[in-house]
Chain A
């Protein structure tokens, strides 16, 4: 157990945690915006999985991470459209839609992957190198953790202030929030609730799929069935635990990410606690987090309530 607490291992855990955090954070930011628009999107896990498969297929076909990222985003947009059609247009219950979509994505990605691979071995590719920032990455301790990461990691963390600004200060951001708080008000001003909810869903689903793509870029050299492994759900928990606020959501994501990379390192170091117990940590922590953080003051008033015009 003490081996886990050596400075080198702790350092390595933190460096890896930033990568894991990127995956969950991209999805969590997307879900945050979606939920602020009033859509309780429970299809995050399925959307992330879609992003994983799309990125994998494009990565194998082209070898270009940019094209793979774009393909994943396209997959995410399709997912967002489908979820939007069911929740916003048809007004199917948000929970039921999300569950249904997750099951569909889990089955469809598996089928697509298996027919793609056929009977043979799944093709692999090289995971992507990091992009250290010159000079800053040489700072002891902080450098490797904060400034020797992948491009998307910087993007994910830097997007936090932008999202906060978008939701607080821009007209469209305020209108998006109004769709979640008081859709009648939007309607009375002659603005379309559906349009704001669709755009929030499309934005959220694209980011979630990009998170899935990053999972493939940084951690895996091939697709596996249900490779997202609950990280989409952790993103939803992070939004609730973060009381629908960007910075607090980020902190919750970091908690999960550190526990996740702790589990990976525990296997490597060979502590005498079975590794499965470490793997349970993020999931147990998410329940404990929700038990401890009882405040839901930031929850949009009309979250999950299908809007029916009168």
Chain B
């Protein structure tokens, strides 16, 4: 029988050790997975490393791949810190990209310094409305936010499918690809390093992380968010409008997730299509949790996962291992991190107990 009791305090060394151990266990299990699939472990991990960190170019491309994950990771942090289990990052990201595209159609050939901010704002509004809707359903009708956000994820995917395949945004002449025509220069995100498409979204992501850190640590809203997760009843007694806080959190989280869509569509792909965004919202959940629901930890986790995602492209070319190894690895890492977080918070004793 395993006995678990809470620990009073843990040093940062023990915490760091637990997480390093989780990382090692995660990679060891993934190695086992590769071996079981009949491929060479060294070849697979070698190609993965080479593609992620092997050259300066690879390194910069990993930053590009990390950018949307920083946004969806931060969206997770803001919601989960308040113990609001939103898994709508995927749908909110789609909604953001769609609203950004829609406003770009409305604006037409306006110059870039008007068009790009307008796209960013429209996308954030779209994501905020999606998130806010679930917050409203939660506070007004007690609809569980996990359910409402998951269901809206499916709805928005079908909506995009309609718009691109048969609906008003269908590219003329193109039937096989569900995508819009390539965007004109004026609505693309400005590039920082053109060769690897490192775009302005990366800077924006770092700024967003800093903003989230300041909000969580230094502002009354941050206090309310943390207290909401800790003890909503006490918060209510302090005279805080909990309903309003939930709505603010969900809108804020949705707006952050929406920026992930903008950065992928307007920074990298230059056309709206669904499959290039698929999964980035869900990966953001893992990133946020592995980042310890802390903005700085989230940036670090996003950089790691961005590198993995970028490396998987190279691995796909060089070895027989399918690139779907990476989502499997991400899930494995997450479960080990969850277990490690328990090791940190509780002390575990093994002893015999009857029945």
Contacts and interface: CB of A to CB of B under 8 A. Distances in A.
Best-buried of B33, B144, B151, B341 by chain A (most CB within 10 Å) = B151
A107 B354 CA distance: 39
Contacts of B4: 89-91, 308
A91 B3 CA distance: 11
A286 interface: yes
B161 A276 contact: yes
Given A107-B330, A233-B150, A274-B166, A287 B143 contact: yes
B159 interface: yes
Contact of A290 (B148, B152, B159, B331): B148
A96 to B, nearest CB: 6
A287 B147 contact: yes
Interface in B142-193: 142-144, 146-148, 150-152, 154-155, 158-159, 161-162, 166-167
A181 B328 CA distance: 36
A110 B327 CA distance: 8
Given A287-B151, A308-B4, A96 B137 contact: no
B322 A236 contact: no
A104 B332 contact: yes
Interface in A73-119: 82, 86, 89-92, 95-97, 99-101, 103-108, 110-115, 118
Given A103-B331, A106-B331, A111-B325, A277 B342 contact: no
Best-buried of B4, B33, B154 by chain A (most CB within 10 Å) = B154
Contacts of B144: 240, 290
B146 A107 contact: no
Interface string B116-150: 00000000000000000000010001111011101
Best-buried of A82, A90, A101, A291 by chain B (most CB within 10 Å) = A90
B38 interface: yes
Best-buried of B150, B167, B289 by chain A (most CB within 10 Å) = B150
A111 B162 contact: no
B96 to A, nearest CB: 19
Contacts of B142: 294, 296
A104 B334 contact: yes
B329 A99 contact: no
A192 interface: yes
A86 B341 CA distance: 11
Contacts of A308: 4
A192 B354 CA distance: 9
B141 A291 contact: yes
A286 B33 CA distance: 37
A89 B346 CA distance: 12
Contacts of A233: 147, 150-151
Interface of B: 2-4, 33, 37-39, 85, 87, 137, 141-144, 146-148, 150-152, 154-155, 158-159, 161-162, 166-167, 282, 285-286, 289, 320-322, 324-332, 334-335, 338-339, 341-342, 346, 354-355
